[in-house]
Structure 1
Amino acid sequence: MKVNVIGGGPAGLYFAILYKKAWPQARITVYERNRPDDTFGFGVVFSDQTLETFQKYDLESYRSITENFAYWDDIEIHFKGMTRRIGGNGFCGCSRATLLQLLHQRAQALGVELKFQTDVTDIDAAMRDADLVIAADGINSRVRETFKDHFKPHVDLRPNRFTWMGSTKPLDAFTFYFKETKYGIVIVHAYQYEPGRSTWIFETDPDTFAKFGLDPLDEPGTAKLMEELFAEELQGHKLIINRSMWRNFPAIRCERWVYENCVIVGDAKATAHFSIGSGTKLAMEDAIGLYEAFRKAGSTNVQAALAYYETNRREEVEKTQHSADVSLVWFEHVKRFWNMDPTRFIFGLMTRSKAITYDNLALRAPDIVNDIDHLVANETKALGFDVDTKKPVPPMFQPFQLRGMTVPNRVVVSPMCQYSAKDGLPNDWHLVHLGSRAIGGAGLVFTEMTDVSADARISPGCTGLYNDEQEAAWKRIVDFVHSNSAAKICMQLGHAGRKGATKLSWEGNDEPLESGAWPIISASPLPYYPNSQVPREMTRADMDKTIADYVAAVKRAERAGFDMIELHAAHGYLLASFISPITNKRTDEYGGSLENRMRFPLDVFKAMRKAWPDDKPMSVRISATDWIDGGVTGDDAVKIAKMFEEHGCDLIDVSTGQTDPASSPVYGRMYQTPFSDQIRNEAGIATMAVGAITTADQVNTIVAAARADLVALARPHLMNPSFTMQAAAWYGADDIYCQPQYLSGRDQIFRNAAREREEMTELKRKAKPKPQIDSWKQAAE
């Protein structure tokens, strides 16, 4: 095998080391445009876990790295006069120049040829010259750009400006400084990477940067200004510049990573924001992933190895990028959190990327979790609730009020279509489904989307609330919930619009009925799928009838005894089709601007609110983004929420997407929660988060960080109706209501959970003792 590596960064060098060590007969040449002692940047960061991976794959380079590192266990946060240290993190800082020199030495010792000051300009020739080409040529990759029509890169230049500098100031923790200056907010990410040297990354929003009045390329001017602004923090130490220009972070993704015998790795392939310290980590893990692909496919089976690499590495890269994206957005919108209590601000900072959660922090920084528990309890007490503020329960078990309705905890059974009704009539399945989950301890239970007319149904199996028989059936369910639980119950009303007259979900989700379909309507005559029924564009008469149907359903819901009503205006159904510019192509007063597109949904809501008792709350489910260019965005969602609030909406149920088959959601844990966070903290309205939320730990994290007021879970409730009761046992929230028939079972799970939690906590603490610098040096030796 002959291998050409274009770019002498960590990804290319580490792959060369691993491959050459495994197959010494390989001829590997690394081409680097710079000199071996050129120094760009300052320090790089690795976690404990990453170092353990390096130890597994190449002990020699691992030893070299750990003999030349600065180790710290704490994160220190400075915000509005408060300083908090959070331990148990485990990071290693190393000079980037030193890391490259160590990898150079290791590669050369194994027989890898390194050619410095050699710029590969003819990529085709490099590919013809070798069996395998590794493109590790960085963010501005020439290889990626040469074949961009194949790799299909997407580069998103983020709005914040940042610059990397160094300093002689010693730091014994990864340190965040948040400072409000006369120009605006400036954030510092700082850490020590070798004795007498630390990295300082300055970050600010575009408005603040503009007020600096600096030339982005003026490195001395930037250093002087930052030294003045952070004189107290630097304590007389100077800043060091080295290509320290202000720049925008490029979030890079590529649709493909492989072209013939060439593969892109490291920053050429994908970037991850510096706020989670993952750029060099990703690059070296790319090298490991590529090496593992050759181990599985065979050392000379290039095509099979590259195919395996692209398939199996992509999920992990995208997972890391998702965490980094969520993290960078938090820093971009730090103004959103600026007026929060410092304890909540710090909790939000620590949990921003979803890698660290409430339970995780309880192990590494119990004082932070104790403080956030007390904060939420005191806020709840200030609202008039009689709650224990000395020994508070976790945030998810604090009560919450909307108008005259009080829910005993923040857990919500999300609306879940069961497709089990006949002619819109809920039956025993719905009684057991909703009743058992109410008994299971959830604070609020939602019905599935229930339709306001027969023609408003999604499918023949959907429930309705448009005749007396349906009203009586729903009253039976409501009465059961009220008689046998402490839960409140909400009726979600909707109209399927262009997504109506479709099959049951397990027969073909959103696929049109082959027979028995009814006529459908929408904002515009656009079918959902090419083979879907074409909806009729709604006329004024259609609108009047639809409003009357909603009002009639609201009155039936009141007679049935529901505690709350939700209007479904999301997921591409009728009202969502008016709100989104993707589905609303009208040229009358109901199309065009957001205000016009909101006209009919607001008409429906206002009529519903007028028919619903003043002391009972109403919510609206919206799609906060269409996940389509040109569609609804998070900023639009804030405006939409405010419009509904102005007319009496008490809560926004924040979902996303499903507007059109062309949407491209970015999935992940709690992937819709950032939109709830934005709406809650920018619009100032209560929100409910939903979407890939699966654990009580996540519920606590979301509520404690004020990303939502209520948290809805769907799939976890499908298989575990007692999700909330079991969570209460785990956290010792013994005030949760339990019906007398189940008390003995409740007592047992509380006893077992207390013992299991104590044992698990002890095991986790023993599993990863806090490492010390001396022990790491000893291990390296």
Structure 2
Amino acid sequence: MKIVCVGGGPAGLYFSILAKLSREKHDVTVLERNAPGVTYGWGVVFWNDLVDDLYRNDPVSAREIAEAAARWDTQEVYLRGELATRVGGDGFSLGRDRLLDILTRRAGGLGVDIRYQCEVQDLSAYADADLIVACDGVNSGLRLQHAPHFQTQVEEGTNKYIWLGTDKVFDAFTFAFEQPPAGWIWFHAYRFNTETSTCIIECPQATWEALGFGKLGPDETLRRLEDIFKRRLAGHSLFNQLRGLGKAPWLNFKRIRNERWYHDNIALMGDAAHTTHFSIGSGTKLAIQDAIGLARQLREHTDLPTALKAYDEERRQALLAIQLAARSSAEWFENVPSYVNQSALQFAHTLLNRRGSSAWSYLLLLASQQSVLRGVLRGLHSSRRWVRSRQRGSDGARPA
């Protein structure tokens, strides 16, 4: 089979790896619009379920990803400087550039043809391809060309956000909420290596306007944000990757949904097919799970239309619950001012359980406030991580 993946992000690269592992004779090409080594974004977040999927499908790249990733077992919530801590919810983060480097080397080693600086506007040059995978991001050009067939729906969130980096290393996944005179503004931050953290800053439109961000240039924006969050940044800097812009890269989140994920021999994957709000940290996970799903359906069905139909049905069904959770999370952040008139502990419980809480969640949060109990909880989580790591090492390499 001749396969062309339009987009060299995690979805396209991982799918190309699985396609070659499934059948070495597949002719697989990945077309990436950027130059080699050029990517935008900071650290990506993922969780234990994705690491398990990676080990089941390609232990070689899984081991390298797991070894390179930063880990945390603690979440910290600051409300006007007051701290509440929760132990649990193990997470992983890895620089997007590092993840792409691992996947690129693995794909190239398997014989995938990776081509850079290929902006695909017209598929006529690839008319001989049996399968075209559109994994070219939230603003997918291929999806736009066939939007009536995919029945694309786009909703825009009301909050403003900006995706930045900082040289402040956050060992815990950290939320910090501040209230300058203009209104509420907050960040989500987590380290992804020993030197750098991702810092996503978000606020209501009214706060954004009152702080004058619509008129400030990139450097002025960073300095103002550093001043607002000086307690948590502790003198460290914020920075962005988009040099030479006349304005700071503030965005409104775009929620993408498609009623169909395939048209003829074109299949949507990753952000081209769907988006979930960044506050639940599932974009990379879902993109890679899409790749796993499509590769599995191609193994199970020799007829391409049947495989694409099965992929469409399976992945859209799998996303229903997480899309609902992502919507609930986005709505919580769009209504932050209605939750802030409580203690940091109560606020943290509301925040950390915004997608639904268990009967024990508040008791565990209370326990995490005590240093002795926090150490006990951390020890229990460390033991669980060790057991899970041993299980992964003994798992077979049979793809899921």
Shorter-chain TM-score above 0.5: yes
Tell me if 1:294 matches 2:295.
Answer: no
1:203 counterpart residue number: 202
Shift of 1:342: 2.8
Alpha-carbon distance in 2 for matches of 1:33, 1:361: 47
- Pick from 250, 260, 275 the counterpart of residue 246 of structure 1: 250
Distance 1:60 1:152, change over 3 A: same
Q: Please give the secondary structure, in 2, of the residue aligned with 1:247.
A: coil
Q: 8 Å contact 1:218–1:245 — kept in the other structure?
A: no
Alpha-carbon distance in 2 for matches of 1:175, 1:181: 19
1:691 counterpart residue number: none
Alpha-carbon distance in 1 for matches of 2:284, 2:352: 21
Q: 8 Å contact 1:144–1:268 — kept in the other structure?
A: yes
- Pick from 326, 329, 354 the counterpart of residue 327 of structure 1: 329
1:24 counterpart residue number: 24
1:444 counterpart residue number: none
Alpha-carbon distance in 1 for matches of 2:209, 2:342: 26
Q: 8 Å contact 1:347–1:368 — kept in the other structure?
A: no
Alpha-carbon distance in 2 for matches of 1:767, 1:316: 28
Alpha-carbon distance in 2 for matches of 1:346, 1:275: 15
Q: 8 Å contact 2:87–2:368 — kept in the other structure?
A: no
1:348 counterpart residue number: 350
Aligned residues: 378
Gaps of 5+ in 1: 371-764
Q: Please give the secondary structure, in 2, of the residue aligned with 1:771.
A: helix
Tell me if 1:111 matches 2:146.
Answer: no
Shift of 1:124: 4.5
Q: 8 Å contact 2:188–2:200 — kept in the other structure?
A: yes
Distance 1:49 1:768, change over 3 A: farther
1:358 counterpart residue number: 359
1:771 counterpart residue number: 385
Equivalent residue runs for 1:607-646 within 5 Å: none
Q: 8 Å contact 2:208–2:214 — kept in the other structure?
A: no
1:328-350, Cα deviation, whole Å (9 max, x unpaired): 11000001111133332111101
Alpha-carbon distance in 2 for matches of 1:59, 1:273: 29
Q: Please give the secondary structure, in 1, of the residue aligned with 2:274.
A: coil
Alpha-carbon distance in 2 for matches of 1:186, 1:168: 20
Equivalent residue runs for 1:273-284 within 5 Å: 273-284=277-288
Shift of 1:360: 4.9
Q: Please give the secondary structure, in 2, of the residue aligned with 1:88.
A: strand
Letter in 1 for 2:164: M
Q: Please give the secondary structure, in 1, of the residue aligned with 2:68.
A: coil
Alpha-carbon distance in 2 for matches of 1:100, 1:92: 16
1:719-769, Cα deviation, whole Å (9 max, x unpaired): xxxxxxxxxxxxxxxxxxxxxxxxxxxxxxxxxxxxxxxxxxxxxx98984
Q: Which has the larger radius of gyration?
A: 1
Shift of 1:771: 2.8
Equivalent residue runs for 1:541-560 within 5 Å: none
Kindly indicate whether structure 1 or structure 2 has the higher relative contact order, using CA contacts under 8 Å at least 6 residues apart.
2
Distance 1:766 1:346, change over 3 A: closer
Q: 8 Å contact 2:77–2:344 — kept in the other structure?
A: no
1:265 counterpart residue number: 269
Shift of 1:111: 0.5
Q: Please give the secondary structure, in 1, of the residue aligned with 2:34.
A: coil
Alpha-carbon distance in 1 for matches of 2:287, 2:347: 31
Letter in 2 for 1:26: H
Output the aligned Cα RMSD: 2.2
2:228 counterpart residue number: 229
Distance 1:192 1:770, change over 3 A: farther
Alpha-carbon distance in 2 for matches of 1:10, 1:217: 33
1:11 counterpart residue number: 11
Q: Please give the secondary structure, in 2, of the residue aligned with 1:311.
A: helix
Letter in 2 for 1:35: A
Alpha-carbon distance in 1 for matches of 2:298, 2:168: 44
2:85 counterpart residue number: 85
TM-score using structure 2 length: 0.90
Alpha-carbon distance in 2 for matches of 1:30, 1:152: 26
Tell me if 1:174 matches 2:178.
Answer: no
Q: 8 Å contact 2:150–2:262 — kept in the other structure?
A: yes
Distance 1:767 1:189, change over 3 A: closer
Q: 8 Å contact 1:33–1:116 — kept in the other structure?
A: yes
Shift of 1:217: 7.8
1:215 counterpart residue number: 214
Gaps of 5+ in 2: 243-247, 371-378, 395-400
Alpha-carbon distance in 2 for matches of 1:195, 1:249: 29
Q: Please give the secondary structure, in 2, of the residue aligned with 1:75.
A: strand
Distance 1:156 1:357, change over 3 A: same
Alpha-carbon distance in 2 for matches of 1:47, 1:167: 22
